[in-house]
Amino acid sequence: MTDHATRFVFSRDGPLEAAIERGAALGFTRVDFNADKPENFPGTFTPARVSDIRALARHHGVRIGLHTLSAVNMAEITPVMHAAIDEYVRENLDLAVSVGAGYVICHGGYHFGADREARMAIAIARMQRAATLAEQRGLTICFENHNKEPDDAEIHYMPRDVVETRRFFEAVTSHRFRWAFNVGHAHLVPDGFDGFFDAFGVDRIAQVRLNDTHGRYEEHLVPGKGMVDFRHVFRRLATAGYAGPYSLDFGTAEEKAHWRDVFAGYLLEFSR
């Protein structure tokens, strides 16, 4: 395996242990998981399970990250839910520390149209609190630019474009609050990959998230099935000096492994 191939992140449904095993069998050294399904609910991570996971990750040389659920609305206003979502963030950060993860991927939540500004303020304040908690735990928040929903959808995720994303990064200045640059999401708005890249560069990127898209609505397509010019993406990132990980948000485990090798070839080509 080339050094470039070790920069790609594997994820799959199911218990974290199975993701580590499957990822390692395919040559991945980084694995993301989610704790919002029964097999990975935080309460299932007993001391014995945590010890086994840490040993398994060490054995395979795998680094772990935790990806929170975008359906949990970081922009929630209702008092009882507002408090519950702060607890959700804290619980995920504590779980990340427990299993030895280095980062937690978070989102900005969603609004319903007329309440956009109120919910944006709530979401920004929540991310400020999350960044403080991350600092205390030695973790990084990887904050993801979200997907645009159709204009007539009931809910609208944020931040979906450069303007909204900038509001979060200007307000949350912690060195532990960084960017999960979702390339597919960027292609759902007029800004596109280049607009986001030109606006923010590589300095705040903690992770680049990859999938193809047809550009009309959210659908994580396998590369080559949509409109993303991945050679262009890798060329710009490598030329600018980005040296961090890439998460593969598409397809089967085998398709992830195939495209990891293709993308590692791009990195080798453009990093010379």
Residue-wise pLDDT tens for the chain (272 aa)?
568 889 999 999 999 999 999 999 999 999 999 999 999 999 999 999 999 999 999 999 999 999 999 999 999 999 999 999 999 999 999 999 999 999 999 999 999 999 999 999 999 999 999 999 999 999 999 999 999 999 999 999 999 999 999 999 999 999 999 999 999 999 999 999 999 999 999 999 999 999 999 999 999 999 999 999 999 999 999 999 999 999 999 999 999 999 999 999 999 999 86
**DSSP 8-state secondary structure symbol assigned to residue 156:** E
| Structural contact between residues 120 and 157, judged by C-beta atoms closer than 8 angstroms | no
In whole angstroms, what is the distance from residue 28 CA to residue 167 CA? 35
**pTM for the whole thing?**
0.95
Radius of gyration over every alpha carbon of the chain, rounded to an integer in angstroms: 18
Separation CA 243–CA 238 (nearest Å)? 7
CATH of the domain at 190: 3.20.20.150
Largest pairwise CA distance in the chain: 54
d(CA 217, CA 105): 22
> Tokens 């395996």, residue?
1
Residue 92: which domain range? 4-270
Into how many domains does the chain fold? 1
Cβ burial, residue 97 (10 Å; 0-12/13-18/19+)? middle
Whole-number pLDDT of residue 103: 98
Contacts of 234 (CB under 8 A, 6+ apart): 263, 266, 267, 270
